[in-house]
Structure 1
Amino acid sequence: MKFVNKIELGDPSTKKQNFINVKLKLLCCRYWYLDLWDCHDMVFPFWRIYWNKNEGGVLTLQDDIYKMDPNFLYIISPFTSFSTRFSKHHKYDTGIHVSGKNLTEKHNEDYFESKSLIHFFTHFNLGTPFDNVFPGIFKIELTDHLKERLIYLTERLKIENHDFKLTFNLKLQSFVREAISNIGAELWKTINIDERVLTVHRFIEANINEKLSNSELASIVNMAPNSFARLFKEEMGITLHNFIQNRKIAKACEIFEYTNDTIESISFKLGFSDRYHFSRVFKSVTGISPALYKSGKYT
């Protein structure tokens, strides 16, 4: 007879298993028809999944152009600077210009498909350290299972677009997890970063509302500030100062999504000296003002 090794887990094996904890947090999920999708140099601190039911959508990442295919999902990692357009109706070469509306049961989807871009998108975060991977756009084939999930999600979004029930949440989470699991393993190498950097990374996330100094963070792992700053830059590919700013703006975006807090209250909540300092940093990171982000007039 075999005895249970860890009675509290009900685990009969003596072999330890190690799992990676991915803290998926959904920010938004929408199904729109778009007449205009001229968005340039967008940089946001969250993941996106885009899918267009019809052709005409275009993504641009530096010199790479992606003509969006309805048979594929397009996953965009955080802090990727990219542009979008709807080729049938293209007017602007700078700035962020979006014109469209939520699709509902009252709309004739076939009618809008003939003249507009039918666009599904969801924004989300994955937590430490998976929100700090290399920027990029990843084209993922729409498998039968993903297609089945997508049909369910888009049909439900036409009925309910605000208070989602548990089933919708679970199926959206399942859809996101399956989609990102198809990204190549090379993207996830950040899970192998130096343990000292990961320790500080987690401390920053837990204390994002505070004003954090290099010396304070270095002391957590018993290193000199300059030595730790060099190690952090080598491991993360970004300075410690810029990393902290990025994470504060990521938190600001999350607060904008989930609350009606004012720009002033968010700036003080995240340790900025005033609204103007916060606005400058927000725009330097995302390319748009916090007021425009708060309005939701982007995708």
Structure 2
Amino acid sequence: MAKLVNKIELGDPSTKNQNFVDVNLKLLCCRYWYLDLWDCHDMVFPFWRIYWNKNEGGELTLQNKVYKMAPDFLYIISPFSSFSTRYIKRHEFDSGIHVSGKNLSERHNEAYFERKYLIHFFAHFNLGTPFDNVYPGIFRVALTDHLKERLVYLTERLKIENHDFKLTFNLKLQAFVKEAISNIGAELWKTVNIDDRVLAVLRFIEANIGEKLSNSELAEIVNMAPNSFARLFKDEMHITLHSFIQNRKIAKACEIFEHTNDTIESISFALGFSDRYHFSRVFKSITGISPALYKSGRYTS
């Protein structure tokens, strides 16, 4: 009878240890729409986004830099980036979030809609620590033949089914996201070299996001004085420890909103807020919109 070998070193001929960075990809949504209005201003959301427009006319703005979206590029937006969108052909609003459109299906003549509307693919996702903690920004990635092939498959399937996805679609979407992210290169990866002590605390925060976490408790994990750790954290993450915890709690709230019908009140208590009103104030201060509007889904693209 064969025996299970549970010692990794017995199956590896090399004696050299290897260290890998885990990529914990969690998909939140993926859609293929036609838009006739895309006036969204100063949006801040706690997850990654990939945008692709099949035709010209879309614009992204980040810190006064305008990205004129071209069909040959993907546009990847990191968490907590304050950005705006616009469809040039129909521009009506200079503030707020205004989207008008619908998902494309097999019933639509896509060539006809492409002449009249902005054809827009988007996916929202998280990558886990440390990748969800990179600097805010928009990364433009050239659409390689391989990425284009995957994108054609995804958009065609989304026209057929956009609710209960089969295993093949999930695997291909995950592969598409990971390949797109990997093509960002050094511009992104230089931001994830985090001090081991900070990384240990980041992982603790993620595992205990529903608790009320104090500076002293977190500093004790890495045997540091609270003030010294607070300075180290700010130097490494370019954000205060308190603000970071608030951001991650709101990120978790958004994830819960995406996948459950839990009430705002129950989510606020589950994440360690004193009451719904405190939660709502923090949520709006970070995202720019109320939890009720987020829950409604009207912000989506």
Give the TM-score normalised by the residue count of structure 1: 0.96
1:135-192 Cα distance to aligned partner (Å, 9 max, x none):
1111111000000000000000011111111000000000000000011313223432
Number of residues of Structure 1 aligned to a counterpart in Structure 2: 296
Deviation at 1:13, TM superposition (A): 2.2
Task: Go from structure 1 to structure 2 and tell me whether the alpha carbon gap of 1:9 and 1:129 turns closer, same or farther (over 3 Å shift).
Answer: farther
1:237-296 Cα distance to aligned partner (Å, 9 max, x none):
000000000000000011011111111111111011111111111111111111111111
Distance across 1 between alignment mates of 2:10 and 2:66: 50
Give the equivalent residue in structure 2 for 1:159: 160
Question: For structure 1, which runs of at least 5 residues remain unmatched after alignment?
Answer: none
The yes-or-no answer on 1:277 pairing with 2:278 is yes
Runs of 4+ more than 3 Å apart: 4-9
Contact 2:134-2:192 at 8 Å conserved across structures: no
Aligned-partner residue type, residue 156 of structure 1: R
Task: Go from structure 1 to structure 2 and tell me whether the alpha carbon gap of 1:203 and 1:69 turns closer, same or farther (over 3 Å shift).
Answer: same
Give the equivalent residue in structure 2 for 1:62: 63
Question: For structure 2, which runs of at least 5 residues remain unmatched after alignment?
Answer: none
Distance across 2 between alignment mates of 1:190 and 1:65: 23
Give the equivalent residue in structure 2 for 1:42: 43
Give the equivalent residue in structure 2 for 1:150: 151
Distance across 2 between alignment mates of 1:169 and 1:202: 26
Sequence identity (%): 85
Aligned-partner residue type, residue 19 of structure 1: F
Give the equivalent residue in structure 1 for 2:130: 129
Aligned-partner residue type, residue 212 of structure 1: L
Give the equivalent residue in structure 1 for 2:232: 231
Distance across 2 between alignment mates of 1:284 and 1:123: 21
Structure 2 counterparts to residues 93-112 of structure 1, below 5 A = 93-112=94-113
Structure 2 counterparts to residues 80-95 of structure 1, below 5 A = 80-95=81-96
Distance across 2 between alignment mates of 1:8 and 1:198: 26
Deviation at 1:15, TM superposition (A): 2.4
Contact 2:74-2:143 at 8 Å conserved across structures: yes
Give the equivalent residue in structure 2 for 1:114: 115
1:64-119 Cα distance to aligned partner (Å, 9 max, x none):
10110001100001111000010001100000000111111111111211111100
Deviation at 1:20, TM superposition (A): 1.4
Task: Go from structure 1 to structure 2 and tell me whether the alpha carbon gap of 1:6 and 1:137 turns closer, same or farther (over 3 Å shift).
Answer: same
- What secondary structure sits across from 2:211 in the alignment? coil
Contact 1:56-1:88 at 8 Å conserved across structures: yes
1:171-226 Cα distance to aligned partner (Å, 9 max, x none):
00000000000113132234321111111111000000001111111111111111
Distance across 2 between alignment mates of 1:153 and 1:175: 9
Distance across 2 between alignment mates of 1:93 and 1:195: 43
Tell me how large the CA RMSD over aligned residues is.
1.5
Give the equivalent residue in structure 1 for 2:79: 78
Distance across 2 between alignment mates of 1:125 and 1:7: 29
Aligned-partner residue type, residue 267 of structure 2: I
Task: Go from structure 1 to structure 2 and tell me whether the alpha carbon gap of 1:228 and 1:167 turns closer, same or farther (over 3 Å shift).
Answer: same
Task: Go from structure 1 to structure 2 and tell me whether the alpha carbon gap of 1:7 and 1:215 turns closer, same or farther (over 3 Å shift).
Answer: closer
The yes-or-no answer on 1:22 pairing with 2:1 is no
Contact 1:5-1:14 at 8 Å conserved across structures: no
Give the equivalent residue in structure 1 for 2:202: 201
Give the equivalent residue in structure 2 for 1:140: 141
Aligned-partner residue type, residue 264 of structure 2: I
Give the equivalent residue in structure 2 for 1:169: 170
- What secondary structure sits across from 2:49 in the alignment? strand
Give the TM-score normalised by the residue count of structure 2: 0.95
